[in-house]
Structure 1
Amino acid sequence: MRRPSPSPPAARGPALAAAAAVVVLLPSIFPAIFTPLGRAFPSLFSEWNVPKPMHESLLNEALRRTISNKQKRELWSPLPYQGWKPCLKSSSVHGVPLEPTGYIQVFLDGGLNQQRMGICDAVAVAKILNATLVIPHLEVNPVWKDTSSFEEIFDVDHFINTLKAEVSIVKVLPKEFSWSTREYYGTGIRATRIKTAPVHASASWYLENVSPILQSYGIAAIAPFSHRLAFDDLPVDIQHLRCKVNFQALVFLPHIISLGETLVKRLRSPVQGQSGELIQEVGEDTNQAGKYAVLHLRFDKDMAAHSACDFGGGRAERLALAKYRQVIWQGRVLNSQLTDEELRNLGRCPLTPEEIGLLLAALGFDSRTRIYLASHKVYGGEARISSLRKLFPLMEDKRSLASEEELTNVEGKASVLAALDYYISMHSDIFISASPGNMHNALMAHRTFENMKTIRPNMALLGRIFVNKSMEWLEFQEAVQAGHKGRYGQIRLRKPKQSIYTYPAPDCMCQG
């Protein structure tokens, strides 16, 4: 057990406090001196050092790469029809109950895409219980500090009208239940709150444990509610209903769609240089003209700390991430017991911006590729993505494409910004995510449903390749291309226990 650090003698306390105050104030008192020092010695003033490229030799060779027109045509050609199509027909036998058994409330945590899955499950649970669903409450995300509500992201009227033939949904509770609020359930144990719903609970669990509360009180609030409904052994109608919610009922608000359409149009327009010449008028023979790819760069501090990998930021970064990991995850990151090389060999390290850039270059994306960067906040800022930007100088994001005025209604709202990224991603020619996660899974499913090209990075292969520091570019390129055959959006049928929100076939799709 670590002993607590001894307190300084009382007589020295004021002196130490005064000295500490001076150190803290010095940069603000003498900015002309300390700002250059901060740039020269960032480890003194920041947790993060600008890292050198972790794969400098590959990066230098990638910057000189040449890509054949044949490879470009193959990369940008759309997916052929795979024999599966959307299939969301519901049985008319199980319509809306004439007398719902009561009201169901759910409180959803996580980011936008985790909440999206929770919304689908909430509708399904309401159907199982013959209950009326109250529009789900979205919790404040502890990482993004976002307070966006369901009504600030999704079109509520469309949501209710799309599902009205199957599930009763209301915007607010009637007056006799107005006491049933998030604040009410946060102040003590309440008979109407269910806290014990197991992960991936069965339909029978809800009938046995929630129905009696509905019958007794007319209302039941379920929290937590992330991943609280099983993916297997459910009626076909319930599975189809989850798909219908995900792919038809959840539509973003008009102002989000309008801004998304504007940015998509700009991404598809030729790029002009400062003197007005076209610098991105790619030849028609490559099928790349007017097209763009979306890169979801999931590289925030929370993700970096949870992965327990080394990302090249030096000792200051390792210490900062270790501290964050201990405070936020409180020792629950089991991977922290493995070395960085072991983690990489197992494919458990998210790709850095540099590594995802090398992957894209090896797959055939060139310096004229229009890439939209879908990301909330990159850990390390612009310096961290400098290598990626060198490889793809035409890379854009929300703030480079839109004006400050256009972003007024979405700025500072992480979930609304994520919704904008989702919309732009769904309209891209190619989507690729730097690491698995909720947005990766949600978009992979949605694009599979629409038969759109989505590249799945082979994390285990890439981890092993990047550990090999002696690999040259041609060998790297061949290994990457061979390891990604069949990973461009080909249909993969859902296996038992796998998520319907990642693998929509066969539950949401039919052959024919």
Structure 2
Amino acid sequence: MKTQDNPSQSQRVAYVGLLVLLLPIFSPTLFRPYGRAWPSLFSEWNAPKPMHWRLMQDALQQKTSQRQQIELWSPLPNQGWKPCHEYKHIPILPEKPQSYIQVFLDGGLNQQRMGICDAVAVAKILNATLVIPFFEVNPVWLDSSTFSDIFDVDHFINVLKDEVHIVKELPDKYSWSTREYYGTGIRPTRIKTAPVHASASWYMENVVPILQSYGIAAIAPFSHRLAFDNLPSEIQHLRCKVNFQALVFVPNIKMLAETLISSLRSPVKGTESTSKQGVGKFVVLHLRFDKDMAAHSACDFHGGKAERLALAKYRQVLWQGRVLNSQFTDEELRSQGRCPLTPEEIGLLLIALGFNNDTRLYLASHKVYGGEARLSSLRKLFPLIEDKKSLTTDEELATVEGKSSLLAAVDYYVGMHSDIFISASPGNMHNAMLGYRAYMNMKSIRPNMVLLGKLFLNKTIEWSDFEKSVQDGHKNRQGQTRLRKEKQSIYTYPVPDCMCSAFQLKDILFK
């Protein structure tokens, strides 16, 4: 009888290697004693523990009153402000300038959006032709999406045609001025020294001479490179016009987002809502809790030693010790409101505010750090959670899959049309959406991060005290008009720069 040959040395090594890779999948606890020596691939597999078990148990038993539901879902009353920047001045387009401005924008979608608005304003200040802005590849999300992949270029140019000259491409004689050209050496036409929140006079003094000498100037970096104060009113109005009128998404993004919105407003099959007030309505929750955010906050999220080590390593590699929060303890960070709300915490906040478990909740977020294990508490509180994948087919999602900027654009559009918007922590999406919804007088809830940080630190607090503190601390954080203060962003606080009071509007219209 023929016997099977013994495996060779190389085969035995291969078998052992395969076993080492597969064992943690079926028994991740087996390798926990190896600590730091175990490959980083498996260092964060420990499921995070609930941080607020007592509050969770009470929240699961809560019932909201009809009065609470009416207050929650009622739209904001007229607050006396209306969009009116189109009435404030008659745009005068100067003769076509002979010089060109390029800007290279980094960051995510919403940071780039603000950069576009500033770029148009700078082109107006300099009386230069603006080239459609170039989007840098994001080092975190590795997204190569271009302006035209996200925004309707023809609409953008048409809306601004009486304000600023804009071109899709440079004329042939300047075709050498590419991103690659500026990445290969020091170039006299590139401005790298634009200060954060630079004044109009800085641009006149430092960029005009380059335009006069070369006919073209490229500004990079450009994020947050234009001040919010001490600018002519027509420049402020122009920024508003770009943000709220000129920047619209391309048809395929709008079509996908409309599909999501239609699904969110449709009745849920097999369920009967206990609240008539919330029928056909939904909340968009920007759950800004990806690994990048968790690491940068330097907070502890109860994922155990493995998670703390993984976040510390990620923080050190990505920011090389430049995260100032890492100098504070977790308790200090939470008491100062510096920790992003976890899915569990945002769920407790929503229940305390009066939302019940038949609320349609749409998650607008990048990949959630901790995955389904970290989302489990939120799902227990709100079973009707949806996101892009749960509401679409693979074919519908294929046009934006793997492109973080396109996915963010879909979420932004859904957020524009939601009944209520709330973000788990401040950030560019939070700021941009608050600005849009203030402009449209739509309800947004701004979590009181300092209050919540202190409440969640109190491990003995009773639900009744937690609920009362949350409700008292958020009465005036649900979309009430806030006037922009000095140095604050016009894109987050559009009143009064982008809007008129009822009395101002009456005067303008009947002059």
TM-score (norm 2): 0.92
Amino acid at match of 1:324: Y
Q: Give the 4+ runs in structure 1 shifted more than 6 A.
A: none
Structure 2: which 5+ residue stretches go unaligned? 1-8, 503-511
Post-superposition offset of 1:281 = 3.4
Partner of 2:101, secondary structure, is strand
Post-superposition offset of 1:99 = 3.4
* 1:87 paired to 2:79: no
* 1:67 paired to 2:57: no
Amino acid at match of 1:301: K
For residues 447-479 of structure 1, give each alpha carbon's deviation from its aligned partner in whole angstroms, at most 9, with x where no partner exists.
000000000000000000000000011111011
* 1:281 paired to 2:278: no
Which residue of 2 is the match for residue 9 of structure 1? none
Amino acid at match of 1:143: V
Contact between 2:290 and 2:369, CA under 8 Å: does it hold in 1? yes
Greater displacement, 85-94 / 209-218: 85-94
Partner of 1:431, secondary structure, is strand
* 1:403 paired to 2:425: no
Aligned runs of 1:242-281 on 2, under 5 Å? 242-272=239-269, 277=270, 279-281=271-273
Which residue of 2 is the match for residue 193 of structure 1? 190
Which residue of 2 is the match for residue 35 of structure 1? 25
> Residues of 1 paired with 2:422 and 2:156: CA distance?
28
Which residue of 1 is the match for residue 95 of structure 2? 98
Distance 1:499 1:92, change over 3 A: closer
Contact between 2:89 and 2:234, CA under 8 Å: does it hold in 1? no
Post-superposition offset of 1:380 = 1.0
Partner of 2:159, secondary structure, is helix
* 1:327 paired to 2:317: yes
> Residues of 2 paired with 1:40 and 1:141: CA distance?
37
* 1:503 paired to 2:493: yes
Which residue of 2 is the match for residue 380 of structure 1? 370
Aligned runs of 1:449-468 on 2, under 5 Å? 449-468=439-458
Partner of 2:194, secondary structure, is coil
Contact between 2:334 and 2:454, CA under 8 Å: does it hold in 1? yes
Post-superposition offset of 1:288 = 1.0
Post-superposition offset of 1:26 = 3.9
Post-superposition offset of 1:87 = 1.5
Post-superposition offset of 1:340 = 0.4
Post-superposition offset of 1:101 = 4.2
For residues 66-123 of structure 1, give each alpha carbon's deviation from its aligned partner in whole angstroms, at most 9, with x where no partner exists.
1111101100100001000112126666522213141000000000000000000000
Selected match of 1:436 from 408, 426, 433 = 426
For residues 102-147 of structure 1, give each alpha carbon's deviation from its aligned partner in whole angstroms, at most 9, with x where no partner exists.
1000000000000000000000000000000000000001111101
Distance 1:212 1:460, change over 3 A: same
Selected match of 1:162 from 156, 159, 163 = 159
Which residue of 2 is the match for residue 12 of structure 1? none
Contact between 2:281 and 2:360, CA under 8 Å: does it hold in 1? yes
Distance 1:282 1:426, change over 3 A: farther
Greater displacement, 370-379 / 38-47: 38-47
Which residue of 1 is the match for residue 299 of structure 2? 309
* 1:470 paired to 2:467: no
Distance 1:71 1:205, change over 3 A: same
Selected match of 1:217 from 214, 227, 234 = 214
Contact between 1:90 and 1:241, CA under 8 Å: does it hold in 2? no
Partner of 2:349, secondary structure, is helix
CA RMSD of aligned residues (A): 1.8
* 1:149 paired to 2:175: no
Amino acid at match of 2:207: V
Greater displacement, 104-113 / 325-334: 325-334
For residues 45-79 of structure 1, give each alpha carbon's deviation from its aligned partner in whole angstroms, at most 9, with x where no partner exists.
33242111000000011011111111011001000
Contact between 2:48 and 2:370, CA under 8 Å: does it hold in 1? no
Amino acid at match of 2:412: Y
* 1:176 paired to 2:173: yes
Distance 1:342 1:95, change over 3 A: same
Selected match of 2:121 from 120, 124, 134 = 124
Q: Percent identity?
A: 71
TM-score (norm 1): 0.92
Post-superposition offset of 1:501 = 1.0
Selected match of 1:46 from 43, 46, 63 = 43
Contact between 1:121 and 1:229, CA under 8 Å: does it hold in 2? yes
Which residue of 2 is the match for residue 295 of structure 1? 285
Distance 1:283 1:462, change over 3 A: closer
